[in-house]
Amino acid sequence: MPVKLSQNLCCRFPLHGFCETHYCLRQLCIDFVRNLHDVGQLQKNSQHRLQLCELSGGAAIQNRVTYLVNFGESGKNFIEIGKTLKVQEIMLRLAVLLRQTEFRGIGETMQKRKLGKSNLEVSALGLGCMGMSFSYGPPKDKQEMTSLLHAAVERGITFFDTAEVYGPFTNEELVGEALAPFRGKVVIATKFGFDLSGSDHRPGAAGLNSRPEHIKEAVEGSLKRLKVETIDLLYQHRVDPNVPIEDVAGAVKGLIHAGKVKHFGLSEAGAKTIRRAHAVQPITALQSEYSLWTRTPEKEVIPTLEELGIGFVPYSPLGKGFLTGAMNESTKFESTDFRSTLPRFTPEALKANHELIDLLGGIAKRKKATPAQIALAWLLAQKPWIAPIPGTTKLNRLEENIGAAAVELTADDLRDIDSAASKIKVEGARYPEKLEKMTGL
Domain segments of the chain as ranges = 2-105, 112-436
Do residues 387 and 313 lie in contact, with contact meaning Cβ atoms separated by under 8 Å? yes
Domain 112-436 -> CATH class: alpha beta
Of 23, 67, 166, 431, catalytic: 166
Question: What pLDDT, on the 0 to 100 scale, is given for residue 35?
Answer: 57
**Cα separation, 82 vs 89, whole angstroms:** 10
pLDDT confidence of residue 199: 81
pTM: 0.78
- Kindly give the pairing relationship between strand 2-5 and strand 9-12: antiparallel
The residue type of 123 is S
Report how far apart the first and last C-alpha atoms of the chain are (Å, whole number): 56
pLDDT of residue 24: 53
Is position 290 annotated as part of the catalytic site?
A: no
Output the pLDDT for position 204. Answer: 75
pLDDT of residue 333: 95
* pLDDT at residue 71, rounded to an integer: 41
Closest CA to 114 of 176, 159, 161: 159
10-residue stretch averages of pLDDT, the chain, 441 residues long:
36 34 52 52 42 40 40 47 61 58 46 95 98 94 98 97 97 98 96 90 83 98 98 98 98 98 98 98 98 97 98 98 96 94 97 96 96 98 98 97 96 95 95 94 93
Which of 433, 439, 378 has the alpha carbon at shortest distance from 408?
378
CA atoms in the 13 A half-sphere facing the CB of 180: 17
Q: Which residue in 278, 265, 264 sits closest to 307, CA to CA?
A: 278
